[in-house]
Amino acid sequence: MTPSPRAADGPLTPVYRAVFCDLRTDQVLDVLPLTDTKFDDYIGKSGSLSATVPLPDAALARRARAVLVPGRTAVWLERGGDIWWGGLLWTVSPACDERGRVQVQFQAGTFDSYLDHRVLATSLSGTAVDQFDLARLLVAHAQEQPGGDIGIRLGHEVSGVHRDYSYAYSALARVRELLDQLAQLDDGFEWRVHCYRDAEGRRAKRLQLGHPVIETGAAEIVVDHPGQVLTYNLPTDSTVQANVWIARGDSPNTDQSQESQPLTVSAEAPQDLADGWPRLESSSDHSGVTDTGTLSSLAQAQLARQREPEMIPEVTVRLDGSITPALLGARIRLRLRDLWHQDAQDRQYRIVGLAVEPPQRTKAETATLYLEGL
């Protein structure tokens, strides 16, 4: 591993390196310098990378133009030799200012964003299939089509929850949509594409599954304010709270000569009303769902998620070696003591998102952690 440079009177500065590869073969195309780099990753949604490639001369401009091809170039971000982020280049924006200086900005999405651009190639159906096997079946189906294999590795873990499924080709459903819909069922799971370096030192991406949630790391991480925590924000949002959830699917009617009405079911939490809460209603649409049992499961699962006010604490910390993107799903203990928390708060959370800003000349390396209460 290349040693990190040391400031004259400061600690080691981590070295970030962007490796650009062919998406389908992972063959290295080039390594380019980056500025203004920001990246994030999450459980439950795609992460992103944005950066700028400065182009001080014609040679570097030719190299950048050859490899920055949206839709077919993979981007791997390394920190000190470790994989910290991986994804697919989606947008490229070359720009020139009034002084003739040229640079190119780009944005990439984590590899799971590729599944937003894949549609089932045929109808699929089955009964009593473990939901993890079904998730792997969907990803394998996408990678089995000509040109569709981007090297996502599949595991063998099981959830113990079995599902019947029927996906019609005519619905033109996207693979990402089907995975999310499956995960959101009652007693569902979490999934993401985890990027890492394998035992042979190769760049790797794997479908990571967790039931009911993804959990990583054996040891609890502890952060304090004052201390490693630089800033925090602890919002509580009741605008998304609901104790009645209405889910709407598509009409099960296949007779086009008769009027069709969308299938609609509701789920309620009567205990909340008995405890004095006002009736709070919300709804969701589920395209392609025509089965009452499936729609009821989606409504129950959504109600369970929304019965309490939404709380997504975020804390910004100095990166000191204990926090890495591999800890998505890990437990963290947040200890706060200040004017708002005069009686010290000591609570456990799970890390569900992480956004990193690499060090710059006037700013230290920091990470913002997005947390979920336990």
Across residues 147-155, what is the average pLDDT? 97
* Nearest alpha carbon to residue 335 among 223, 232, 257: 223
Q: Does residue 4 sit within a domain?
A: no
Do residues 225 and 364 share a domain? yes
pLDDT of residue 117: 97
Tell me phi and psi for residue 214, to 5 degrees: -80, 125
Q: Based on the fold, state whether residues 102 and 174 are members of the same structural domain.
A: no
Mean pLDDT confidence for 297-313: 88
Q: Which residues, in sequence order, are CB contacts of 47 under 8 Å at separation 6+?
A: 39, 40, 41, 85, 87, 109, 110, 353
pLDDT at 256: 67
Lowest mean pLDDT among 120-124, 286-290, 324-328: 286-290
Q: Is the pLDDT of residue 3 over 50?
A: no
- pLDDT number for residue 4: 43
pLDDT of 1 over the 70 cut: no
Residue-range definition of the domain harbouring residue 83:
16-114
**Whether residue 75 sits in one domain with residue 145:** no
For 271, the 3-state DSSP assignment is: helix
Confidence of residue 2 (pLDDT cuts 50, 70, 90): very low
How many whole angstroms from its chain centre is CA 229?
A: 23
Q: Do 127 and 256 fall within a single domain?
A: no
DSSP state letter for 358: -
Q: Please write the tens of the pLDDT for every residue from 311-368.
A: 889 999 988 778 889 899 999 999 999 988 888 889 999 999 999 998 877 788 899 9
Last residue of a domain, one of 306, 326, 346: 306
163 part of a folded domain: yes
* C-beta of residue 337 within 8 angstroms of C-beta of residue 225: yes
pLDDT of residue 52: 95
Residue 252's pLDDT is: 81
Domains in the chain, number: 4
Based on the fold, state whether residues 128 and 205 are members of the same structural domain: yes
> What is the structure's pLDDT at 360?
78
Whether 10 maps to a domain, the answer reads no
User: Is the pLDDT reported for residue 304 higher than 50?
Assistant: yes
Q: Is residue 77 part of a domain?
A: yes
Note whether 342 and 229 are same-domain residues. yes
In a domain, 2, yes or no: no
Mean pLDDT, to the nearest integer, of 122-147?
97
Q: What is the mean pLDDT of the chain?
A: 91
Residues 230 and 353 in one domain: yes
226 lies in a domain?
yes
Does the residue 216 lie in any domain? no
226 lies in the same domain as 352: yes
Nearest Cα residue to 183 out of 205, 208, 206, 152 = 208
Whether 3 is in a domain gets the answer: no
Could you tell me the CATH number of the domain that includes residue 350?
Answer: 2.40.450
Bigger pLDDT: 41 or 301?
41
Let me know whether 257 and 322 are in one domain.
no
Q: What digits encode the pLDDT tens for the residues 236-285?
A: 889 989 999 999 998 887 766 677 788 999 999 999 999 999 999 999 99
Q: Which tokens go with 80? A: 């000190």
Q: Which pLDDT belongs to residue 182?
A: 95
Do you know the residue count of the chain?
Answer: 374
Nearest to 262 by CA among 279, 242, 280, 283: 283
The pLDDT tens digits of the residues spanning 186-200 come to 899 999 999 999 999
Q: What is the CATH number of the domain that holds 30?
A: 2.40.10
pLDDT surpassing 90 at residue 160: yes
Task: Give yes or no: residues 98 and 175 share one domain.
Answer: no
**Terminal-to-terminal C-alpha distance of the chain:** 37
Q: pTM of the entire structure?
A: 0.84
DSSP state of 34: -
Shared-domain flag, residues 129 and 53: no
The verdict on 109 and 154 lying in the same domain is no
Domain boundary among 114, 131, 163: 114
pLDDT of the residue at 288: 81
Domain boundary among 89, 114, 139: 114
Please state, for a pLDDT cut of 70, what percent of the chain lies above it.
Answer: 95
* Residue 167 structure tokens: 């996906």
